[in-house]
Structure 1
Amino acid sequence: MNQSNVGLLDLPTEILLVILKNLTNIDVLYSLLNVDNQRLDIIVQGNTFTNTLDFVLTTLTDDIFLFNDSIIDRFCKNILPRIHQNVKYLILDSLSMKRILLAADYPNLTQLKLFNFNDKIQSDYFTVKTPFRHIFQQQITDLILVFENNLNEISIKNYTTDMYEYILKFFENLKHLSVMGSFPRFFPPLVLNNLPSTTFFSSILNKLSIHIMNFDDCLALLDGRLKQLTTLILVIDNMKNHSSNVYHIDNLSNLKCFSLTIYDCLTDLYDTEILPLFRRMINLEELTLYITIRNRTTLIDGNHISNEILIHMPQLHTLKFCISIKIHRNHFIHYLSKNDIQQSFSNIKYQQMDCIVNYTYNITTYQIFSLPFMFDCLKSIGNIFPSIIFNHVRRLTVYDDVPFRHEFFYRIAWSFPLLKHLCVINFKPQSSKLDKLNLNYNQLFSVIKYPYLISLRLDMAYIHYTDQFLNQTKTHLPSLTKLTVDYERLNIVTRNFRKTTTRLNCSKIKQLIISPPIMNSIVTNMRRSKHFNLYFPLLESCVCSLEDE
């Protein structure tokens, strides 16, 4: 066969567009744009290329930390001036935001997503003196702020008045506002309790996604200060107190989509605070509920959801839920099996569901959830869980008083393919011998791979599980950067940081959290150890902590 001399630019325009829209390497686009080719310029600047531009800008942001200054400069000099009129959506890192926004005018830019946001970015750029004032104040209608991990010290209440309320006023045409952060600390919550009803007020905002301090703040947001609100997405860490204020809330006839995440809620607060609020959402079309409820004496099943929630939402067409109920065994009033729970959902038309029942010591945990599972977190599953793929889960806690065998962690890797954060709680040994670590590994088992796992917590697990994960003949952890572990168990499993088979899984760790706290002198000597340093060549911090992550 003769060698073909046909190049990329010799392809028909339609095929070239398809290729451009599916590019994953932005350097290829740089090469194309640097070619002095009139036809390519027409394609790049034409309206038919708008969607491709959005994709390329998104790809740039995802890979921004891989780019050096010269590449970013090329992007600003050679690409943006040629496509700026088509740009409607920019996804930027705060470090490169200024250069990119100064590279060209963006007359059609209406959406902005900003990573590594903090209060300094706000004070430097969200002001009347900024060169981007017109873009921010007049053009931006959709704003997503992603907080950085290391926040400057500032009081929570000041974040509400000095940042969140300020942003709502400064962006005069803002209709969508989302504020998010990284696990586990997220970002400073919105706090409206004891502040005037004019705080955080907008007559045009129709979508809000934010982390709040408690349920009082949820009620405050719905008291009329956001009259045009149609979508509300809220996250509350815990809900342990009754509402301390009286809020006058009419029927929420404008609200179409509501999402509520509560990681810890007492059962009486669920019954007296949350359920009455649901009854006011008469025109709701989409409901997303992720909630963990403690101290309950009865289960929440399909009958409860139908009779206490859905009956008040006649327009509802989409229901996504994960409800976890923790019950002390001696507090049972009505026991339901897994089949009983599934049968109770037979009259709910929205979608399929499944459930997990986990018995640990004196507590039984019931988790009922819609399918497909759409949440990024799943807590306290044990040895028994359904054989389905949880494609969205990034954070998982496994907890049982029955030992986890090697096969269990195979199933975890298969069921949670994109897992990034894992906590193991189990004080029972994997082997039958309680007095020592069984190092005679059964070679019939293959190595388990967790390609995306970056954080692993083992300080509440028996020593066998430290070996299970750190031993490269059992588990492969190519992305692990954070490890929380008991010091003595780590020392034994690694043979005082000399064992070869546990070295690889430790080699990329940047943050090591030792639990329980040990003497500073021990930590200092450990860090000075030649063997320790060889084991953790990329280590940036080694601290002692008893705090929950």
Structure 2
Amino acid sequence: MNQSDIHLVDLPNEILLMILKRLDNINVLYSLMGTFDGQFDILLQDNIFTNTLNMISRSSTDNDDDDIYSIDDQILDRFCIDILPKIHHNVKHLILESMSMKRILLAGNYPNLTSLKLFNFGQNIALNYFTDKSIFQHIFKYQITELILENNDNYDYVGGRILSKEYNNNIYVSILSLFKNLQSLSIVGSFTSSYPPLSIVDLPSITFCSSILTKLCINVRSLDDCLYLLDGRLKQLTIFIVQIRYIYNDLSIIHNTDDLSNLKYFSLTCYNLTNAYDNRMIPLFRRMINLEKLTLYIRITDRHTFVDGTHLHKEILMHMLQLHTFIFYISTIIQINDLVHRLSNNDIQQTFKNIGYYQTSCTVSYCRRSSKAICHVFSLPFAFDRLEVIINRLPIIIFHHITYLTVFDMIQFKQEFFVLIAKACPLLKHFGIFNRMLLLRNFDKYKADYIQSYSIIQFSHLISLDMMVQDQYYIEQFLLDTKTHVPRLIELKLFYSHLKNVTKNFTRDATRHNCAHIKRLICYDTCDYPKKFDHYFPSLNIVSYPSST
């Protein structure tokens, strides 16, 4: 057979299956169904290929994630009619968008379905389908062992203590009540939303219990909620991934202090500052006597010394004899005076080398004006998507996962610093710049600061820019298209007076391009919109904050 005569259909079934699995594309699956005298029908019904189906409806998704594959409604309808009834018995894992969930689940019986992942999940889905009266009760109640929900509810909308209790009952409690065989539960937020966290502080001790759940990934309101989850109500829990909103230094509640001998992997993330690290966090870590992997993201304040390698080894790591993986980001803010010995980056780095942790980095900054110092220490490669309160310096490494960054200037940032940020954080989506410097009197001097030796700084993924600054130089730096390119910027937070000055009362062409796609403008002072304002921001949905915030 000549090489030119070989067709796709002539390949052995084993090779065709390898090709199809690499394509992993619902459109390809749909287009091949019913062709080549049924050969592909047989292949596409093969258990190996239809094991996992990822079907996200394009019309219902609204995100910028490149890794979310979507299909249009027409193909989805045909898929539910022509394909799913033929392969539903082979499907073990479903990845769905919540608005299309009903159509897809009604297209078959799915007797082998054990894993379900839902995007754009909300309270309405739980109220309609996560109940004992659900039309999918036969699937949810006894088959599903793994449930992953990307929550799209907005905490600001739900808000309030009473509604928060209702949310606990409607979402968290109802899930464990309905899914009787659930062994793994993950509830995470989408990138742009902050959904209501679990809070069981004031609820009965039998709330949110399971004798078979082994993995839990969840957001909770406070450390007390986390401690309640570890009081024995989840007896078989071996993997616990928790994001905590607040860690209070409150010892009034008495918690179970038994060893957590079943726990093998613990991950804790808290973005808000806490002063309870020594009193409450260290005792919790010491209970995890058989822990094998620890992931920690925490920001600490009101300590007398930095958290360094020596401290971590003495207070935590030496009590975890089975630990083999420690991934961390820890920042510490301390008070300083002229008598405090100033440690360098090398000093902090050496404390980690002394305990055998060589893949680490750190940065230390001192501010005499505020009498404070901040130290960031973290394992390499940097594993988190968030980095906060960087002051005038950043380690010269690539942060491949960072999408959220805040910087705070004590000395005015120059263009070189923003060049470094763009290179170090190539996937940056949310950027906050904060300062308390007095407004420069000679703004024209900086407005004319076009540094020709630099090319235009590219922030290709930046969607939100927060500039709570007194120095208009930063507004100029990011809005002037000869200095910075922000093609996806849709949210801008700043002082309206600065915006008005930099844009020359919204007539300046050089700043118009970087404002063209902004949908949300959040101002920290009073706004007085001119007549031509809408032409400068054609797709704007204005939100104004009073200066008191």
| TM-score exceeds 0.5 | yes
Q: Is the 1:319–1:350 Cα contact (8 Å) retained in structure 2? A: no
CA–CA separation in structure 1 for the residues paired with 2:222 and 2:341: 31
Residues 1:148 and 2:157 aligned together: no
Q: Is the 2:249–2:280 Cα contact (8 Å) retained in structure 1? A: no
Q: 1:86 aligns with which of 84, 90, 96?
A: 90
- Alpha-carbon shift at residue 150 of structure 1 (Å): 3.5
CA–CA separation in structure 2 for the residues paired with 1:546 and 1:169: 46
The aligned residue for residue 256 of structure 1 is 264
CA RMSD, 1 decimal: 2.8
**CA separation of 1:193 and 1:355: change in aligned 2, threshold 3 A:** same
Residues 1:302 and 2:303 aligned together: no
Deviates more, 1:251-260 or 1:361-370: 361-370
5 Å-filtered alignment, 1:509-528, equals 509-516=518-525, 518=526, 522=528, 525-526=529-530
Q: Is the 2:213–2:236 Cα contact (8 Å) retained in structure 1? A: yes
5 Å-filtered alignment, 1:180-191, equals 180-182=188-190, 186-191=194-199
**CA separation of 1:455 and 1:275: change in aligned 2, threshold 3 A:** same
**CA separation of 1:369 and 1:461: change in aligned 2, threshold 3 A:** farther
Instruction: Deviation per CA, 1:307-340: give whole Å up to 9, x if none.
Output: 1101110000110010000112229755422111
Aligned to 1:264, what secondary structure does the other structure show? coil
- Alpha-carbon shift at residue 411 of structure 1 (Å): 1.1
The aligned residue for residue 219 of structure 1 is 227
Q: 2:500 aligns with which of 483, 491, 501?
A: 491
CA–CA separation in structure 1 for the residues paired with 2:108 and 2:517: 40
CA–CA separation in structure 1 for the residues paired with 2:81 and 2:382: 44
- Alpha-carbon shift at residue 479 of structure 1 (Å): 1.3
Aligned to 1:263, what secondary structure does the other structure show? coil
Q: Is the 1:224–1:249 Cα contact (8 Å) retained in structure 2? A: no
Q: Is the 2:56–2:71 Cα contact (8 Å) retained in structure 1? A: no
The aligned residue for residue 32 of structure 2 is 32
Aligned to 2:337, what secondary structure does the other structure show? helix
**CA separation of 1:244 and 1:429: change in aligned 2, threshold 3 A:** closer
CA–CA separation in structure 1 for the residues paired with 2:3 and 2:547: 66
Deviates more, 1:32-41 or 1:390-399: 32-41
CA–CA separation in structure 2 for the residues paired with 1:356 and 1:58: 42
CA–CA separation in structure 1 for the residues paired with 2:225 and 2:325: 25
- Alpha-carbon shift at residue 282 of structure 1 (Å): 0.5
Q: 2:450 aligns with which of 432, 437, 441?
A: 441
Instruction: Deviation per CA, 1:339-385: give whole Å up to 9, x if none.
Output: 11111112434661000112344221100000011011100113322
The aligned residue for residue 347 of structure 2 is 340
CA–CA separation in structure 2 for the residues paired with 1:277 and 1:464: 46
CA–CA separation in structure 2 for the residues paired with 1:430 and 1:327: 28
- Alpha-carbon shift at residue 256 of structure 1 (Å): 0.6
**CA separation of 1:172 and 1:464: change in aligned 2, threshold 3 A:** same
Q: Is the 1:142–1:176 Cα contact (8 Å) retained in structure 2? A: yes
- Alpha-carbon shift at residue 438 of structure 1 (Å): 1.5
Q: Is the 1:358–1:400 Cα contact (8 Å) retained in structure 2? A: no
Instruction: Deviation per CA, 1:71-100: give whole Å up to 9, x if none.
Output: 321232233233322322222222111111
CA–CA separation in structure 1 for the residues paired with 2:249 and 2:119: 33
Structure 1 unmatched runs, 5+ = none
The aligned residue for residue 211 of structure 2 is 203
**CA separation of 1:407 and 1:24: change in aligned 2, threshold 3 A:** farther
The aligned residue for residue 238 of structure 2 is 230
| TM-score w.r.t. length of structure 1 | 0.90
Residues 1:21 and 2:25 aligned together: no
- Alpha-carbon shift at residue 226 of structure 1 (Å): 0.8
CA–CA separation in structure 2 for the residues paired with 1:462 and 1:184: 28
| TM-score w.r.t. length of structure 2 | 0.90
Output the amino acid matched with 1:225: R
Q: Is the 1:377–1:395 Cα contact (8 Å) retained in structure 2? A: yes
Q: Is the 1:318–1:350 Cα contact (8 Å) retained in structure 2? A: no
| Percent of aligned pairs with the same amino acid | 50
CA–CA separation in structure 1 for the residues paired with 2:191 and 2:521: 17
5 Å-filtered alignment, 1:367-446, equals 367-427=376-436, 433-434=442-443, 437-446=446-455
**CA separation of 1:208 and 1:545: change in aligned 2, threshold 3 A:** farther
CA–CA separation in structure 2 for the residues paired with 1:41 and 1:430: 70
Residues 1:240 and 2:240 aligned together: no
**CA separation of 1:66 and 1:428: change in aligned 2, threshold 3 A:** farther
Q: Is the 1:451–1:479 Cα contact (8 Å) retained in structure 2? A: yes
CA–CA separation in structure 2 for the residues paired with 1:224 and 1:69: 46
- Alpha-carbon shift at residue 246 of structure 1 (Å): 0.8
CA–CA separation in structure 2 for the residues paired with 1:536 and 1:204: 54
**CA separation of 1:544 and 1:248: change in aligned 2, threshold 3 A:** closer
- Alpha-carbon shift at residue 58 of structure 1 (Å): 7.0
Residues 1:480 and 2:489 aligned together: yes
Aligned to 1:407, what secondary structure does the other structure show? helix
Deviates more, 1:328-337 or 1:460-469: 328-337
Aligned to 2:177, what secondary structure does the other structure show? helix
Output the amino acid matched with 2:351: S
Q: Is the 2:57–2:71 Cα contact (8 Å) retained in structure 1? A: no
Aligned to 1:216, what secondary structure does the other structure show? helix
